[in-house]
């Protein structure tokens, strides 16, 4: 008897890049035609972060943050550059060049670039990116590493290895956030449209455990249209 290969075995990163290269570099493109969901998503993320109480007596004066799989920087603009009363520098990591080009020279992030709230813009997939190296170059770790609607492009093995690198690049008291679609089917689902997987809640929790991370808070995004996947946020810190 032969067993079927796991869903993530079908991920082909070249196909994903080809798919995203054909998507318009706009907020609507980032959200698969559901631009109106952005406001609900961002408000939910603000509430989620508020409950984590990241602003403390020992938190850094200027927060270094990473927006991973950032697209054109929708989350950078609407969420991350507004944190800590704007005393924040957000690095953008994104493999599709036309999206990073928009982040570097387009109108979407013009104000944020001009007042120094956008830091490095790295044109790379998360399976290759080493946050430890980026933070070593700057001499300071991240306070928040935000990953949203992108880790389905990494295989399970790649995701665990990536999260381990993130764990070593986050300040004590800081947090890694993963906010992703969740399937309520028994197993993960492969989507050939963009060559990605949608994972189950249980699979995510297993992978976080394998990466040596614990879930300090998790929440389902409320208010999304019922035809969409459930979306869940996880706040993660080192297990020990
Ligand atoms: C649904 S969009 C989300 C963009 C952004 N996170 C947001 O919520 O607005 C998915 C993004 O994942 C990016 N992506 C594709 N393959 C990736 C990879 N291997 N590593 C990181 N990001 C990837 C795409 O280029 C695209 O920008």
What percent of the chain shows pLDDT beyond 90?
Answer: 97
Q: Report how far residue 213's alpha carbon sits from residue 24's, in angstroms, rounded to the nearest whole number.
A: 35
Give the pLDDT score at 240: 75
Pocket of ligand 1 (CB under 6 A): 13, 16, 20, 30, 69-71, 74-75, 94-96, 99, 125-127, 148-150, 153
Please determine, for residue 165, whether its predicted confidence score (pLDDT) is greater than 70. yes
Q: Kindly report the length of the chain.
A: 240
Question: For 32, which DSSP code?
Answer: T
Task: Point out the ligand 1 atom lying closest to the alpha carbon of residue 126.
Answer: 20
Domains belonging to the chain, first-starting first, are: 7-238 (3.40.50.150)
Establish whether 74 is an annotated binding residue. Answer: yes
Give the pLDDT score at 1: 67
Q: Measure CA 129 to chain center.
A: 13
Q: Report how far residue 19's alpha carbon sits from residue 21's, in angstroms, rounded to the nearest whole number.
A: 5
Task: Point out the ligand 1 atom lying closest to the alpha carbon of residue 148.
Answer: 6
Please determine, for residue 11, whether its predicted confidence score (pLDDT) is greater than 80. yes
Return mean pLDDT, the chain.
Answer: 97
Please determine, for residue 105, whether its predicted confidence score (pLDDT) is greater than 70. yes
């Amino acid at each position: 008897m032969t067993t079927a290969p796991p869903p993530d075995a079908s991920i082909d990163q070249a196909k994903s890049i080809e798919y995203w290269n054909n998507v318009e570099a706009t907020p609507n493109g980032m959200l698969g035609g559901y631009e109106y969901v952005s406001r609900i998503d961002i408000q939910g993320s603000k509430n989620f972060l508020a409950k984590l109480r990241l602003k403390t007596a020992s938190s850094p004066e200027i927060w270094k943050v990473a927006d991973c799989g950032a697209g054109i920087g929708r989350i950078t603009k609407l969420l991350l550059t507004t944190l800590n009363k704007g005393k924040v520098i957000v690095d953008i990591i994104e493999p599709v060049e036309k999206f990073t080009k928009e982040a570097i020279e387009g109108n979407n992030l013009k104000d944020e670039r001009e007042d120094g709230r956008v830091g490095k813009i790295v044109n790379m997939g998360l399976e290759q990116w080493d946050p430890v190296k980026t933070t070593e170059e700057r001499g300071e770790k991240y306070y928040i590493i935000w990953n949203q609607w992108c880790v389905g492009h990494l295989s399970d093995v790649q995701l665990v290895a990536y999260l381990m690198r993130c764990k070593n690049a986050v300040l004590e008291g800081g947090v890694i956030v993963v906010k992703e679609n969740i399937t309520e089917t028994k197993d993960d689902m492969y989507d050939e449209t963009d060559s990605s997987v949608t994972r189950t809640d249980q699979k995510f929790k297993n992978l976080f455990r394998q990466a040596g991370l614990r879930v300090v808070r998790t929440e389902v995004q409320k208010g999304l249209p019922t035809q969409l996947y459930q979306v869940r946020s996880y706040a993660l810190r080192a297990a020990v």
